[in-house]
Amino acid sequence: MDTEKRAPWYYLALLILAGESVFILPFVLQRVFRPTILKVFELNNTELGLCFSVYGVVALVSYFFGGPLADKYPPQKLIAMGLWTTAIGGFYFATFPEFHYLQILYGYWGFTTIFLFWSPMIKATRVWGGSNSQGKAYGFLDGGRGLVGAFFGTLGVVVFSWFMADNLEVADLGESRFAFRKVILVSSAIVALVGFMVWFFMKLPKSLEKEIVLEKISMTQIGQVLKLPSVLLLMVIILCAYVGYKLTDIFSLYASKIMLYDEVDAAKTGAFLFYVRPVVGVCIGIIADRSLPSYWLFVSFVVSFFGAMLFALGFVVDTTVFLFLFSILIVTSGIYAARALYFAVMESGRIPLVLTGTAVGLISVIGYTPDIFAGAVMGVLLDWSPGLKGHQHVFYMIAGFSFIGALAAYRYYKLYKRDERKIS
């Protein structure tokens, strides 16, 4: 099936826009504004981590059942519904609910962003990439999502700064809530708008849509997918890569607590990460299509391991802004490269295109379990060992999972490098 000539370029553009928009409320705002969120919701790191854990538990079930759903219905409709329902949760988020209600909200988001959205997005990207451009498709997807995240992160900082008191050092709870409510409301409105854009414009030709949709998914087909070595290895690879990605939430807090930046400067550090992601995603996607994606997946884990060790061993403490950001650049380049490539190797892993949604759902059940434990563990590490020591423990955790991920990626490379050479 020649999908490259039949899926238009703007299809991927809308997919990129939707792919990051849906995660703005549950994740992007927390990554950019973590110190502020702890303040305005009156939470500690452990409590915020438990909210992410509730999200992860609901997401775990949603991955399993949402995967086959993506093979039965067109991606466009499921993605639009996921955006709209997520935006509705955002308007409730703006009321600053108490901790227990906030946990319920995160559980709700676990359903809207995963059951309705995740597998359709990954499958639609594979369809756009065809047989020869999987690295480019997923590299552009993740890099483009990073660019969208950078835009929203920067927009959030601008809105927050505009409504925030002039003297950030003495801003009280009411002033911070007033400014951050504007950030949430603007974000929720944009997410809903993107849903309408997807519904009306992100369409495939009818003939192609019929080729990628099944009327029924059988247990035999699910068993067939589970027997593939590539599926089992991707479960480990994605789990390790996603731990690193989840723990990038620490950088704005590191800037605040260790580098002693104020709220706005700490948020700018979080926003900086989103500008790294598009550059890494696009570059690694192009490079991977010209060589072997699984090899570069292995390299990405090696880079993230050494980058994390810079922080874990205490080399990034009393340093200049440039060296601080450069150190962040090293560890996040490895993390974002792995994130951009781990689904790009599905084509060489002999996973049938029509069963992509089912495969993604099954892989994600294990691969995205960090949604359950990563935030909570990070919160415990930070709260039990305040200051630099707790942050070092988090970076040791990133390094450990990067090492395991490198081993799994190397095994994948050894198994499927011949298939990748045929594709490239």
Question: For the ranges 40-49, 216-225, 230-239, 243-252, which has the lowest average pLDDT?
Answer: 216-225
Residue 202, pLDDT > 90, answer no
The yes-or-no verdict on residue 3 having pLDDT over 70 is no
Choosing among 2.60.120.330, 1.20.58.1610, 1.20.1250.20, 2.60.40.420, the CATH entry for 9-423 is 1.20.1250.20
In angstroms, rounded to a whole number, what is the distance separating the alpha carbons of residues 19 and 23?
A: 8
In angstroms, the CA 138 to CA 188 distance is 26
Task: Please check the confidence at residue 4 and state whether its pLDDT lies above 50.
Answer: no
Euclidean distance between CA atoms 248 and 34, whole angstroms: 11
Query: Which residues have CB under 8 Å from 95's CB, separation 6+?
Result: none
Q: Are 403 and 409 in contact (CB under 8 A)?
A: no
User: Mutual orientation of helices 134-163 and 173-201 as an angle, nearest 10°?
Assistant: 140
Q: How far apart are CA 323 and CA 335, in angstroms?
A: 19
For the chain, the domains span: 9-423
A 10 A CB-CB count for 319 gives 13
Measure the CA–CA gap between 235 and 325, rounded to whole angstroms. Answer: 31
3-state secondary structure of 204: coil
Residue 309's nearest CA partner among 372, 422, 186, 395 is: 395
Q: What is residue 55's predicted lDDT score, i.e. its pLDDT?
A: 92
Torsion angle, CA of 255/257/259/265, rounded to 10 degrees?
40
- % of the chain exceeding 90 in pLDDT: 39
Give the separation between CA 344 and CA 270, rounded to whole angstroms: 27
Q: What is the pLDDT of residue 292?
A: 84
**pLDDT at position 84, please?**
97
Mind listing the pLDDT tens digit for each residue in 287-340? 988 888 899 999 999 999 999 999 999 888 877 888 888 999 999 999 999 999
pLDDT score of 1 more than 50:
no
Residue 66, pLDDT > 90, answer: no
Model pTM?
Answer: 0.78
